[in-house]
Every structure is written in structure tokens, then in C-alpha cells.
Structure 1
Amino acid sequence: MLEVKDLEVYYGLIKALHGVSFEVKQGEIVTLIGANGAGKSTTLRTISSLIKPKTGTITFQGQDITGKAPHTIVAQGLSHVPEGRKVIGDMTVLENLRMGAFTRGDKGEIAASLDEVFARFPRLKERANQLAGTLSGGEQQMLAIGRGIMSKPKLLLLDEPSMGLSPKLVEEIFSIISTINSQGTTILLVEQNAFMALQVAHRAYVLETGRVVLSGDAKKLQKDEKVRSAYLGE
């Protein structure tokens, strides 16, 4: 479904990604794990064309999307839930969700998707007319994910969905991620909470200073001594 090949990205003179390559197959949850500054968020932002790579290619469903306009990538079925949620605070929950469907034209289908989001996140339905900026951190994360799936994506990019949340909410968010995947959406997950990421993912890639240094089955990587020592606190 997604193939990233030999991505090199610079911030000015600083090289952030050094030939990053990986793939995501349809139906999978694939996670990118690594320390702060490893290049995880940069990778997602490059895939969704918020950053332009110096070299390398990104292929989505057989089409080269490298450097395409972000809104055309969304229309093709790729949605990005950014780090820090980025909800629009002075708009209501409902308005934020409708913004997620900006590439879609069928009002009936948009209404059906809205019902699905509210069924999945009952708290958002309760707060539909509340300003997004007044929500708790966990509710804002639910809104960010809900807004992401309003575009009806084939592939959902999730950037640090557990950041700043309590352990109980982290478990709830990861349960939601598993459910979304089980209902047919492929997921590429960037996450510092390596333990939880490896619990839900099928496969994983480990990034260090802009390079993929390890990859494989997520459950096997959980048992890898290097991974356990560096990322699982053991």
C-alpha cells in the first residue's frame, strides 16, 4: 500500500533523514519507534508532503505521491493526525470534524461518517457544540483522530497519539487504534511509548538519528534485547 524508498530530508544544512526506506501493507498497523530526534515525525510529515524530500520516493497504492500537494494526497485516501493534536480551538467539535471531510462532496456520506465517529467517540457527541479548545487532552486526541477518519482514509498516519495522556487514557486510545484497524483502516503509527506501540502493531521499524536500524515482527522486536534496553526501560 505504501512504499517509502531512500528518503533524504534536510532542515537547512542539517540532514534529518538518511535514506529511510520501509513499507506498509494493506490491513497492517506498522509502527516507527525511536528516541526524540530520531526522525519519526519528519518521516510522517514528508509522506503527507508537509516537508519536501531532497531525494527518495513515496509510493501510495501504486502511485508516486512524492511532493504532491497535501490536499491531493488526502483526497487519494491518506490522512495525517499530527503530533500535538492541532485541533482548531475556537471552532466547535462538530466544525472540526466537518473540516476533516473537506475533500468529500457527498453530504449523505459525510453525515454517515459523522455518525460513525460519534458512535466510536460518544464523548465527542456529548460535546459536539463545545469549543475544541475547552476539551481535555484526551478528548482533543479523540477529536484529532475523529477528524482524521472523517476523510475516510485508506491509510491513517498517527503521530504520537499517547503524548501527554494519563496511563488509563493511553490504554483507551490504543484500544481505539486497534478497533479502527480491525474495521479495515491501515495504520502507520509513530509513537514514543514503544511498549504500547509494539503491543498493537504487526510490524515495526526502529529509527535512530534518521536511519532505520532495525525492523521486523513487532512481537519479536518486543523480545529483542537491544530494543528492550533502549526503548522498553529494561
Structure 2
Amino acid sequence: MLEITNLSVNYGAIRALTNISLDVKTGEIVALIGSNGAGKTTTLNTISGIVPVAEGSISFKGRNITKTPPHQIAALGIAHVPEGRRVFPRMSVMENLEMGAFTRNDREGVRASFEEVFQRFPRLEERKNQLAATLSGGEQQMLAMGRALMAKPTLMLMDEPSMGLAPMLVEEIFNIIRAINQSGTTILLVEQNAHMALSIASRAFVLETGNIVLAGAASELAANPEVRRAYLGE
């Protein structure tokens, strides 16, 4: 579904990513793990078209999207749940969800998507007229995920969905991610909580200072002594 080949990204004179290659197959959860500043968020922002590519290519379902504008990438079926949630604070829950559906013209389909989102996140329906700024951190994360689902994506990019959440909420968020995947959405997951990420992913890549240093089955990486020492607290 997604193929990144020899991708390099610069921030001015600083190279953030160096010749990285990775792929995501239809139906997978693929985890991208690494320490702060490794380039994980940059990778997702580059796929979404927010950050320009210096070298290399990105293809989605066989189509080259390397220089495609972000709004067109969203319309192709890639939804991005950004780091820090980035909900629209002065808009209501309903208005935030409507923004997620901005690429769609099918009113009946959008109405059905509202129902699906509210079934998955009952708390959002309870708070649908509240301003997003008044929600808790966990509720804002649910809203960011619900907003992405409103686009009916085939690929979701999730950036640090557990950041700042209580352990009980982290468990809930990861159960929801697993359920979204099981309902047919492919997921590329960036997550600081490497243990949780590797527990739900089928494959994973390890990013260090802009380079992919390890790749393989998530279960194999979870058992790798180097990964356990660096990212699993052992």
C-alpha cells in the first residue's frame, strides 16, 4: 500500500532523514519506534506532504505522491492523527469531526461515518456540542482519531497516540487502534511506548538519528536484546 524508497529530508542545513526505505502492506499495523529526535514524526509529516522531500520517493497504492500537496494526499485516502492531537480547540466536537470529512461529498456516507465514530467513541457523542478545548487529554486523542476516521481512510498515520495519557487510557487507546485495524484500515504507528507498539504491530522499523537501523517482525524485534535494552527499559 505504501512504499518509501531512499527517502532523505532536510531542515535547512540539517539532515533529518537519510536514505530510509520502508513499506506498509494492506491490512497491517506497522510500528516505527525510536528515541526522541530520531525522525519518526518527520517521516509521517513527509508522507502527508507537510514536509518536502529532498531525495527519494513515496508511493501510495502504486501512485507516486512524492510532490503531491497535503490536501490531495488526504483525498487519496491517507489520514494523519498528528502528535499532540492538534484538534481545533475553539470548534465543537461535531465541527472537528466535520472537518475530517472535508474531502467527501457523499452526505449519506458522512452521516453513517458519524454513527460509526460515535459507536467507537461514545464519549464523543456525549460531548458532541462541547468545545474541543474543554475535553480531557484522552478525549482529545479520541477526537483526533475520530476526525481521521471521518475521511474514510485506507491508511492511517498515527503519531504518539499514547502521549501524556494515564496507563488505563493507554490500554483503551491501543485496543481502539487494534479494532480500527481489524475493521479494515491499515496503520503506520509512531509510538514512544515501544512495548505497546510492538505488541499490536505485525512488523516494525527502528529509527535512529534519521536512519533505519533494524527492521523485521514485531515479535522478533521485541525479543531482540538491543531493542529490549534501548527501548523496552531492560
For the aligned pair, the TM-score class normalised by the smaller chain equals over 0.9
Give distance in 2, aligned partners of 1:17 and 1:221.
21
Give distance in 2, aligned partners of 1:138 and 1:42.
24
User: 1:190 aligned to 2:190?
Assistant: yes
Aligned counterpart, 2:199: 199
Residue 67 of structure 1 deviates from its aligned partner by: 1.8
Residue 50 of structure 1 deviates from its aligned partner by: 0.1
**1:22-42, CA deviations, whole angstroms, 9 ceiling, x for partnerless residues?**
000000000100000000000
**1:116-150, CA deviations, whole angstroms, 9 ceiling, x for partnerless residues?**
00000000000000000000000000000000010
Instruction: Provide the secondary structure at the position in 1 that maps to 2:192.
Output: coil
Residue 232 of structure 1 deviates from its aligned partner by: 0.1
Aligned counterpart, 1:209: 209
The one-letter code of the counterpart of 2:43 is T
User: What is the aligned-residue identity percentage?
Assistant: 63
Shift >2 Å, 4+ stretches: none
Instruction: Provide the secondary structure at the position in 2 that maps to 1:104.
Output: coil
**1:32-76, CA deviations, whole angstroms, 9 ceiling, x for partnerless residues?**
000000000000000000000110100000000002011111111
> How is 1:71-86 mapped onto 2 (pairs within 5 angstroms)?
71-86=71-86
| TM-score, scaled to structure 1 | 1.00
Aligned counterpart, 1:14: 14
Instruction: Provide the secondary structure at the position in 1 that maps to 2:89.
Output: coil
Aligned counterpart, 1:32: 32
Residue 220 of structure 1 deviates from its aligned partner by: 1.1
> How is 1:1-234 mapped onto 2 (pairs within 5 angstroms)?
1-234=1-234
Instruction: Provide the secondary structure at the position in 2 that maps to 1:59.
Output: strand
Aligned length: 234
Give distance in 1, aligned partners of 2:90 and 2:208.
37
Structure 2 portions without partners, runs of 5+: none
Structure 1 portions without partners, runs of 5+: none
The one-letter code of the counterpart of 1:80 is H
Give distance in 2, aligned partners of 1:161 and 1:223.
23
The RMSD of aligned alpha carbons is 0.4
Give distance in 2, aligned partners of 1:121 and 1:79.
18
Give distance in 1, aligned partners of 2:192 and 2:133.
25
